[in-house]
Amino acid sequence: MSALEFQSVSVAAGGRAILSGIDLVVEPGEVMGLVGRNGAGKTTLLRAASGVLSPDSGRVLVAGEPVAELSRRDLAQRVAVVPQDTSVPFAFRAFELVLMGRSPHLGTLGFESPEDLARAQDALDDVGIPHLAERSVLSLSGGERQLVVVARALAQDSPLLLLDEATAFLDLQHRAHVLDLARLHARQEGRAALVVSHDLTLAARTCDRLALLVDGGVLACGPPRDVLTPERVEQAFGLPVHVIDGPDGAPIVVPSASAPQV
């Protein structure tokens, strides 16, 4: 059974097609990356997977069950999300925000158990920010707040992890670490991760497969080396590139010296 499946998913807004007949499958134990230029439909696809929006046609399945038929609690037990916007309107302590990831698993009275408290602390430790536990999230930098939200998603212990530009505000070390955590998450007990990234090189290093979106459709899907060809990248992003082998064998995408200046 697939961890996540998009079946002919189409979404339109303002009279414009955002997604057009998307068919994609994320398997248990897999990290799939969604790549493409701004406006290609990557975030919309994640929003459909998380139940935030309903497709105009087609359907989304999580572990074989239609997202549209799951309650919010049931869906939260199955899917954890790190959104693009990590702003928090209240002065929660970082630990309190991470502990919110345990909410789908709490009993009727809503009290956290010692196990819930320990899982939240473990998530802070895993991300490398235990020293932020007592800090107000309003006092944190954008990157620190991003890490707290990643820890909240990990504490949720859902089989499917959705990361929407989760490394956008992070330095190089933390970018690599968060995506390594996504790989670890996927390797545990048949879990899976779907990752939106604008960093093609880092996505190629981290993801088992990439889906390259162009104008709301899938141009190519497969191993990073097969997807990130100079021809496809130029078609998707509108500029010529070189694709070279990195030290670990993963492809590195470099804009051509003749690329137009914007």
How confident is the model over 6-32, as pLDDT tens digits?
Answer: 999 999 988 899 999 999 999 999 999
Contacts of 143 (CB under 8 A, 6+ apart): 169, 170, 171, 174
Question: For 86-121, what is each residue's pLDDT tens digit?
Answer: 888 888 999 999 999 999 998 777 789 999 999 999
Which position has the token pair 């899938």?
218
At the top level of CATH, the class of 4-85+158-255 is alpha beta
Question: pTM of the entire structure?
Answer: 0.92
The burial of 149, by beta-carbon neighbours within 10 Å (0-12 exposed, 13-18 middle, 19 or more buried), is given as: buried
Backbone phi and psi for residue 252, each to the nearest 5 degrees, phi listed first = -115, 130
Q: What single-letter DSSP state applies at residue 177?
A: H
In this prediction, residue 258 carries a pLDDT of 60
In this prediction, residue 260 carries a pLDDT of 53
Pairing of strands 192-196, 31-35: parallel
In this prediction, residue 89 carries a pLDDT of 80
C-alpha neighbours within 13 Å on the C-beta side of residue 224:
26
Backbone phi and psi for residue 160, each to the nearest 5 degrees, phi listed first = -120, 130
Angle between the N-to-C axes of helices 172-187 and 114-127, in degrees from 0 to 180, rounded to the nearest 10: 130
In this prediction, residue 218 carries a pLDDT of 97
Give the CA radius of gyration of the chain: 19
- Calpha distance 79→102 (Å, rounded): 12
Q: How far is CA 261 from CA 37, 134, 255, 257, in A?
A: 16, 45, 11, 10
In this prediction, residue 107 carries a pLDDT of 76
Amino acid letter, 102: R
User: CB count, 10 Å around CB of 125?
Assistant: 12
| Coil vs helix vs strand at 158 | coil
Amino acid letter, 131: H
- Calpha distance 124→151 (Å, rounded): 6
For the chain, which residues score pLDDT lower than 70? Answer: 258-262
Cα dihedral 43, 48, 51, 52 sign: positive
Task: Select from 185, 140, 137 the least CA-distant residue to 161.
Answer: 185
